[in-house]
Structure 1
Amino acid sequence: MIAQALADTDWAAQDSLSDEEIARRVVADPDAAPILSDAETAAALVRTVRHRLGLSQAAFAARFHIPAGTLRDWEQSRKKPDTTAMAFLRVIAREPDMVARALDPVTR
C-alpha cells in the first residue's frame, strides 16, 4: 500500500510547491499534522516528559533543578529551550531516575 502510494506520487509536482502552498495544503487537510514551530515542538517534548513522569510543573522543576518560570515558559511556547537545555530534557526523557540521582546532593 505504501509502496504503491509512493509510486503513484508525482514527485516533480510536489517539488515545485512553494512553502506557502505546502502550508495552505496542510491547513486544509484534516488528516495532516500541524506544522509546529521549534518552540512548539520543544513545548510538546517538555509536557510529554513531565506528564509521562506524572509530575506537576513545580515537582518537575524541583526534581531536575529547572526554574519553575523557565519550565512554564517552555511549556507555553513563550521561550524555546536552548541546545543545552534540549539535550538535558532528552536525557531526562530517557533516564529520569539517573538524572534525579545525579542531581540529588545526598547521593553525591
Structure 2
Amino acid sequence: MAKITLEEALKRPVTVDRARLDATTEEDIRRYMMEDGFDPDDPSYLDGAAIVLPPRMIRERLGMTQATFAEVIGAPLATLKNWEQGRTMIPPCVRTLLNILDREPEAALRAIMAGRPEAA
C-alpha cells in the first residue's frame, strides 16, 4: 500500500465530478441500484444493516447537555464534541454503548450509574 503525506494528497487533482454528482436524480439512483442487482422497491437489501444515530441525536433525546452526556459515557467533553461534529470516528465500543443508550435508555443509564458513587 502506497503511503503519501497530507501535502501530497492535497496536491492531487480532485477526481469527483461535482456537477455530475449534483445533477444525479432519485431516478438515476434507482437505475444505479437496479444495475447493481438491488430492487429499490424491496427494502430487504438493507437486511443486516444497522441504523446508526448520531451521538447528538441520542444525547438530545436523553435531554442532556454535552458536558453531562460526556460524563455519563465516560468520555472527555472535547472528544464528544469531535464525534458530534464528525471530526473523528467513533470507536466501535462507544458506538455499541450509544446504540444501547438509544434503544434501552433507562436500563443503560441505571447500569452506568450503578457503579458510580452517589453525588453528595
Shorter chain as denominator, the TM-score bin is: 0.5 to 0.7
1:94 counterpart residue number: 103
Shift in Å at residue 24 of structure 1? 5.3
Post-superposition offset of 1:56:
1.0
Give a deviation string over 1:19-77, Cα, whole Å, max 9, x none. x57x755533587xxxxxxxxx97x6111111111211011112222221111110011
CA RMSD of aligned residues (A): 3.1
AA matched with 1:102: A
Q: Unaligned stretches of 5+ in structure 1?
A: 1-19, 32-40
Q: 1:97 to 1:67 in 2, by over 3 A?
A: farther
| One-letter amino acid of the structure 2 residue matched with residue 73 of structure 1 | N
Superposition pairs of residues 1-108 of structure 1, within 5 angstroms = 27-28=22-23, 45-104=54-113, 105-106=116-117
What CA distance in whole angstroms lies between the structure 1 residues aligned with 2:60 and 2:21?
Answer: 28
Structure 1 length as normaliser, TM-score?
Answer: 0.56
Contact 1:74 1:80 (C-alpha < 8 Å) held by counterparts = yes
Cα 1:78/1:28, change in 2 over 3 Å: same
**Residues 94 and 24 of structure 1, relative CA distance in 2, 3 Å threshold:** farther
Q: Which has the higher helix share?
A: 1
Amino acid of the residue matched to residue 83 of structure 1? P
Between the aligned residues of both structures, percent identity stands at: 31
Query: Per the alignment, do residues 92 and 28 of structure 1 end up closer, same or farther by CA in structure 2, a change over 3 Å counting?
Result: same
Distance 1:97 1:64, change over 3 A: farther
Q: 1:63 to 1:26 in 2, by over 3 A?
A: same
TM-score, normalization by structure 2: 0.51
How many residues align? The count is 78
Higher Cα Rg, which structure: 2
CA contact (8 A) 1:64 1:100 kept: no
